[in-house]
Chain A
Amino acid sequence: MNDREWQTMIKDAVDSERYPELDRDLWPRMRMRLAASRPSPSAWDLLLLAAIILLSVAFPGVLLNMLYHL
């Protein structure tokens, strides 16, 4: 058997198996994967936000002063 015949035999054997086409939309799974990968705010970010809120409640004038100078 020469190389060409041999290759044809491999192709026929391997190609004889047929797989069904994708019969459903994978977008919902893709969307979940994208959502899971979005970075969530770190503990430091949340702590900083809490500190700013506390500061603005305790000393509203300080924040206004800072904003004025920005």
Chain B
Amino acid sequence: MERPAGTEDDVRLRAFAAGDEGAFESLFREHQREVYAWIVRMVRDPAAAEDLTIDTFWRIHRSRARFDPSRSFGAWARRIAVNAALDHLKRAGNERSRLTPIEDAGLAAAPDPDRDARRSIVRAFVRLPATLRVTAQLALVDERPYREIAELLGVSLGAVKSRVFRATRLLRRELAEWRQRR
């Protein structure tokens, strides 16, 4: 979406793109919580999410000359944050994610007869390959439109549909196996 020229925000974004450190600091302070919230939902690790928030803004700072100030800063930051989270999950690919104490606390607190099934789904979810996990998070959990996910990840619409299908199939299989083991 195009932004009207001459507004305070427009002036700040132009200053940021031109390399103004004050404008960058102002954008950082305004968006850091939002960026952290996107990332922590994907990586499910608050400490890693803090590091990745810094990494995201580092990438933003490095690419500032390529930023079009007439576009939404938030959408651009989100694309960079998603890719930073994806890179992190790929790097951590072999080190299987485990439920953090926060996750355990959240699940244990819910008096739900299906708690074990939910826990099993979460375990299977965090074991998905990074690209499937991020796509499934955006599509199934955050319920973002497929077209937006395609733009965020820089892939085709067909690739998004295929990843969601594969993630769902893997999760179904995991849950079926878990039910058989019970």
Contacts and interface: CB of A to CB of B under 8 A. Distances in A.
Q: Are A and B interaction partners?
A: yes
Contacts of B125: 10, 13-14
A17 B107 CA distance: 7
Interface string A15-27: 1111111100111
Contacts of A22: 32-33, 36-37, 50, 53
Contacts of B44: 17, 19
A15 B53 contact: no
Given A21-B33, A30-B28, A34-B61, A10 B168 contact: yes
A56 interface: no
A25 B110 contact: no
B102 interface: yes
Sort A-B residue pairs by CB-CB distance and give the 8 closest, nearest first: A13-B118, A13-B121, A22-B36, A17-B106, A19-B40, A22-B33, A17-B103, A14-B141
Given A30-B54, A34-B61, 16 more contacts: A6-B172, A7-B140, A7-B168, A10-B125, A10-B140, A13-B122, A14-B140, A19-B37, A19-B40, A19-B46, A22-B32, A27-B29, A29-B54, A30-B28, A30-B57, A33-B54
Interface of B: 21, 25, 28-29, 32-33, 36-37, 40-41, 44, 46, 49-50, 53-54, 57-58, 61, 102-103, 106-107, 110, 117-119, 121-122, 125, 136-137, 140-141, 143, 168, 171-172
